[in-house]
Structure 1
Amino acid sequence: MEPTAHSQKKASTPSIPETAEDLALKLNIAVRNSNIKDVLELLEKGADVNSKAGCGWTPLQSAVQANEEDLVRLLLDRGACPRARKDNGGTAFTEAAIAGNVTILELLLDCGLNINDHDDNGFTAFMEAAWYGNEEALKFLYSKGANVNLRREVSEEKAKLHKGGVTALMDACRRGHVSVVKTLVQEMGADVNICDNKDRNALIHALKEGCARERYQSAVSIGHFLLDHGVDVNSKDECGKSALILAVEMESSDLVEALLEKGEIDVNDADEEGNTALVVAVEKNNYHIAEVLCKKGARTDVGNLIAVANRNRAYNMARLLRQYDARFVPETLKDWEPNSKRWRDQLECLYKMYRPMICKLKTFQFFRLRIQNTSQGGIYLGLHGETEVAVRISRSTEGEKEKRFFEQCGTCEHLLKLFQFEKARGYMYLCFPLWEKNLEEHLQESEDQIDYKDAVKMIFQAVRELHSLGYAHQDLHPRNFCIDLGGKIYLADFDNKRKLIEGKKELVNSDLEALGRLVLYVLTGGRKPLQQVSTEDLAADSADYNEALDLVSSLVSHDERGLEGLSRHPYFWTKQTRFKFLKSIWNKIKDLQNRRAVFQASNATASFPYPRWTKEIDRDVLKIMKNPRKVKPLKYSNDVTDLLRFIRNLDEHPDSRISEIIGDHAEYFLELFPALTIYVYNTLRQNPEYSHFADIQEPSL
């Protein structure tokens, strides 16, 4: 039969080729459906094995999520990239840990992956395995070198919000995986006392979820296990709740009693709202726990406990509380205004909240009241009486050593001083006058004009004072310089890196080099990190540029003058002092038989920077100076001695015609010859016969 015209037209219509996007979409669908046949066909048609679907998922990642080992092998053989990342930074490797498939983990690890690689939220494969309770995957990753105690890395923005820092153990605790927790601690040596960026340890993570019915029993089991393995019971959650308060919220009598048996916990500790464990027990109407707490000395004058019990119609609870002297006593606070501008809100909050007093000190070891992190722990806000203080908390033995050091600083003007100290329960509370910012924050955040020279002076003085006590600092970082409300700078050493000098010149030299970098950091306004700043970052048009450059060079080269001599460096001189210095030199050398020998015989390597200085002087000024009134004409050559003579003559014999042209003499010459002061100073200083000419008395430091 003959074909119709319609059928002929249909047969001749060419098929539309599939685009790369079409093939990629179909490939990802085939993978998600675990259809190996379709996957092979699409790859043969040219589908991109590394194409991405929604949220950045690649075919390999989808195959791993589906737990399809054969499909994973196929895609790897066809060139799938195991390092490809989803939009959240996750890889096929982290997906394999979530799935818990050891075979796939091994396949991917054989591709040369970094076992501790993490996604954008800081999750490693090891952490994912812990979070999802995949114990076999966890053991495999540990055997291959996964870092058990790695803390979650997050972006700088998230870190500022105190996010991140969580470990695999904390994840397992939070999710209630009892067996995984035991494996991590007993077999892998996980540290039970590492804290995240909100200062929460594994115990807090376990108890945070304990109020949920499905997590209660696992939280109790994990809590007891951690207590048996030396966990710190004084850690708090992001709301300032201690482990004891969280255990009361869970209404776990066993955990409450176990925590109190440790003898290390303060039964009267309170959260940021001032609620103690007893307050929580009364609110929850848990008579047994309330009784246990009262017997352990819980205060009954915190919170309106009787009113709470009456509101709950808990008459037995009210009777119990009255047996332990609970009374209604309204609390009234007198008006109080903190001096600090930066810490005003936190200090007002601390003033109003209930905190158990440590003699005269009121403080709260809570991240929102933490003003600085150190390797030895945090520094926290406190009130000693009504004086605003910064509080360093340490064990009594270490605290005694620190106290002795800070007491030596009592007579020093720019070393941080000890204000008061208190002792309680084996801890030392060192109290310092509260500072507003550290130097790093001051430079980067200040909206006001900063006097850099004044800052460098105070920094110099601080380091000199520390050296005079016999210590080298060894960590001259901007964060170790505190600035009070009046702008005064103090040097601190909260990381305990200082060392006794005891004749070890290399320690002093190390401080000098660090001071050189610090000076550059200050003079460049902290625009670059300390270790990246260089002399190239100095503003060449600055009035102090040449002096600053020489000062930094002298520090870095361990100049024999040391800090004492360098404290009289021309950088610290005022403009008027520099000008007077230049004028004075001619008076000192004018009667010498060979004046030019003062500079020619020098050991200085620098050449005179203005060999044609007469061409740079204003032509009319030079003409007037060469032809003074009632005096025979003068000649000036282009050497340094005649320039000094010219400066001296012009200033000592003022002429109104010249003043109208150049204005202030000091301003004029220092701007016209900015490198002259440091050249003359160094040339004289390096000439043994005339070095005393460079000595001037400048009360700058």
Structure 2
Amino acid sequence: GTAVDAQDAEGTTGLQIAATNGYKILAEYLIGQSADVNLSNNCGWTPLMHAAQHGQVSVVALLLHHGATLNATSRLGVGALTLAAGRGHHSTVCLLLEAGADIADSTMHCGSVLTPLGAAAVNGHVSVIGALLQRGSSVNQVLLATGASPLMLAASGGHLRAAQVLMGHRADPNQNNFYGQTALDVAIACSKMEVAEYLRSIAQVAQQEHNPNATDIFDAIVACDLNEVRRILEENPPCCNSCHPLKGTTPLMQAAILGYIDAVALLVESNADLELQDCSAGWTALMHAVYHGQLHITRYLISSGADVCAEAFNGATALDIACYLEKGNTKMIQML
């Protein structure tokens, strides 16, 4: 019969094919026949890398259970975690992280190799970015060949929400690559004007923060001072999407948490982004409203177009949060 580890001209094995396609039963059979779980193809790809890139989480778990090398890298220096992160496979990324995958995940054979965070950023996979940052990925780590940061990579792809999450985790918008470009410069060069406008607004907010007389919009919301909130928004419209330096929340989230419906309405009218996520858990304003039992604000946000299917970093939706609460609000659950 054919040897269990037989390879074709490209070095592909039966186990690699099973891993790619998520054929768990076949993979179990081959492993039971002593297939090598770490045998790579001509490019250095192991079965684990194939399974990770295609989000075959059950096969990933199987391979790890049978001794697959977690942090192995291909000939180009790319590992399973980077491959999963680049494709946005949140569950696979979380499984690999739980197993102890290296968040750097690269031997850096060449300076252009992406880290897992860089791979997620350039493809705009927000939930994966959040999961990696929670595990300690360096938000400002650059590519050795170009000096590009995750924020620059997100900007180059026009991924606004990814850029916002990175900024919420203290990404440096003034960091330069080896060509002297900032993330804003990269966004403009790539014609990603939505991201460019956001990064430009960040610079404007930073200038305002250096003004000792500038009133903090978060303080105005906490004080329930609607006139002051309105004044700040008129003077600096982009601050409706600013991020609290300590809490990682937006003004809209703060107003939703406090049940301040007038401020919520004013912020929405001022084009506050309903889908921004906080930096700690990836919760939207709707999720915060649900968690704090703010029924009227939940209804208002939904009627204003808030996405009830948006997922936090752990994959939970607003409905999941409502159901998890010890005393679930029946009206809230029905609304969602």
Q: Bin the TM-score by the shorter chain.
A: 0.5 to 0.7
Q: For residue 163 of structure 1, what is the aligned residue in structure 2?
A: 112
The letter of the residue matching 1:181 is: I
Q: Whole-Å Cα distance in 2 between the matches of residues 122 and 56 of structure 1? A: 18
Q: For residue 256 of structure 1, what is the aligned residue in structure 2?
A: 200
Greater relative contact order: 1 or 2 (C-alpha under 8 angstroms, separation 6 or more)?
Answer: 2
* Contact in 2 for aligned 1:204/1:236 (Cα 8 Å): no
Q: Deviations over 1:26-81 (max 9, x none)?
A: xxxxxxxxxxxxxxxxxxxx111111113211111011112111110111111211
SS of corresponding position for 2:10: helix
The letter of the residue matching 2:200 is: V
Q: Whole-Å Cα distance in 2 between the matches of residues 190 and 93 of structure 1? A: 22
Name which of 133, 136, 143 aligns with 2:91: 136
Q: Whole-Å Cα distance in 1 between the matches of residues 135 and 170 of structure 2? A: 16
Q: Whole-Å Cα distance in 2 between the matches of residues 125 and 151 of structure 1? A: 8
Q: For residue 458 of structure 1, what is the aligned residue in structure 2?
A: none
The letter of the residue matching 1:231 is: A
* Contact in 2 for aligned 1:61/1:95 (Cα 8 Å): yes
Measured after TM superposition, the shift of residue 136 of structure 1 is 0.4
Q: Whole-Å Cα distance in 2 between the matches of residues 126 and 206 of structure 1? A: 18
Q: For residue 152 of structure 1, what is the aligned residue in structure 2?
A: 106
Q: How does 1:491-510 map to 2 (within 5 A)?
A: none
Q: For residue 227 of structure 1, what is the aligned residue in structure 2?
A: 167
1:188 aligns with 2:135: yes
Q: Whole-Å Cα distance in 2 between the matches of residues 66 and 109 of structure 1? A: 17
Q: Whole-Å Cα distance in 1 between the matches of residues 34 and 140 of structure 2? A: 43
Q: How does 1:7-46 map to 2 (within 5 A)?
A: 46=1
Name which of 96, 108, 117 aligns with 2:72: 117
Q: For residue 72 of structure 1, what is the aligned residue in structure 2?
A: 27
* Contact in 2 for aligned 1:151/1:196 (Cα 8 Å): no
Name which of 145, 150, 167 aligns with 1:202: 150
SS of corresponding position for 1:139: helix
1:174 aligns with 2:122: yes
SS of corresponding position for 2:154: helix
* Contact in 1 for aligned 2:155/2:184 (Cα 8 Å): no
1:57 aligns with 2:6: no
The letter of the residue matching 1:136 is: S
Measured after TM superposition, the shift of residue 112 of structure 1 is 2.0
* Contact in 2 for aligned 1:97/1:128 (Cα 8 Å): yes
SS of corresponding position for 1:113: coil
The letter of the residue matching 1:153 is: T
Is there any run of 5+ residues in structure 2 with no aligned partner, and where? 209-237, 239-336
SS of corresponding position for 1:54: coil
The letter of the residue matching 2:201 is: E
Q: How does 1:259-298 map to 2 (within 5 A)?
A: 259-263=203-207
* Contact in 1 for aligned 2:79/2:105 (Cα 8 Å): no
* Contact in 2 for aligned 1:220/1:255 (Cα 8 Å): no
Q: How does 1:551-630 map to 2 (within 5 A)?
A: none
Q: Deviations over 1:513-539 (max 9, x none)?
A: xxxxxxxxxxxxxxxxxxxxxxxxxxx
* Contact in 2 for aligned 1:117/1:125 (Cα 8 Å): yes
Is there any run of 5+ residues in structure 1 with no aligned partner, and where? 1-45, 211-218, 265-291, 293-701
* Cα separation, partners in 2 of 1:110 and 1:151, compared to 1, 3 Å: closer
Q: Please identify the structure whose Cα radius of gyration is greater.
A: 1
* Contact in 1 for aligned 2:21/2:51 (Cα 8 Å): no
The letter of the residue matching 2:7 is: K
Q: Whole-Å Cα distance in 2 between the matches of residues 50 and 229 of structure 1? A: 45
* Cα separation, partners in 2 of 1:179 and 1:77, compared to 1, 3 Å: same
* Cα separation, partners in 2 of 1:145 and 1:220, compared to 1, 3 Å: same
Measured after TM superposition, the shift of residue 191 of structure 1 is 1.6
The letter of the residue matching 1:115 is: L
Q: Deviations over 1:476-524 (max 9, x none)?
A: xxxxxxxxxxxxxxxxxxxxxxxxxxxxxxxxxxxxxxxxxxxxxxxxx
Q: How does 1:657-676 map to 2 (within 5 A)?
A: none
* Contact in 2 for aligned 1:102/1:136 (Cα 8 Å): yes
Q: How does 1:74-473 map to 2 (within 5 A)?
A: 74-148=29-103, 150=104, 152-155=106-109, 158=110, 162-164=111-113, 166-185=114-133, 187-197=134-144, 198-210=146-158, 219-237=159-177, 239-248=179-188, 249-252=191-194, 253-263=197-207
Measured after TM superposition, the shift of residue 237 of structure 1 is 4.0
The letter of the residue matching 2:137 is: A
What is the RMSD of the two structures over their aligned residues, measured on CA atoms? 2.0
The letter of the residue matching 1:262 is: A
SS of corresponding position for 1:182: helix
The letter of the residue matching 1:243 is: A
* Cα separation, partners in 2 of 1:167 and 1:154, compared to 1, 3 Å: closer
Q: Whole-Å Cα distance in 1 between the matches of residues 122 and 13 of structure 2? A: 30
Measured after TM superposition, the shift of residue 207 of structure 1 is 0.8
Q: Whole-Å Cα distance in 1 between the matches of residues 169 and 70 of structure 2? A: 28
* Cα separation, partners in 2 of 1:263 and 1:146, compared to 1, 3 Å: farther
The letter of the residue matching 2:76 is: N
Q: Whole-Å Cα distance in 2 between the matches of residues 255 and 132 of structure 1? A: 25
Number of residue pairs aligned between Structure 1 and Structure 2: 204
The letter of the residue matching 1:222 is: A
Q: Whole-Å Cα distance in 2 between the matches of residues 235 and 87 of structure 1? A: 38
SS of corresponding position for 1:106: helix
* Cα separation, partners in 2 of 1:260 and 1:200, compared to 1, 3 Å: farther
Measured after TM superposition, the shift of residue 255 of structure 1 is 2.7
Q: Larger % of strand: which?
A: 1
Q: Deviations over 1:108-158 (max 9, x none)?
A: 11222331111111111111110111100111111111122x152243xx3
The letter of the residue matching 2:69 is: N
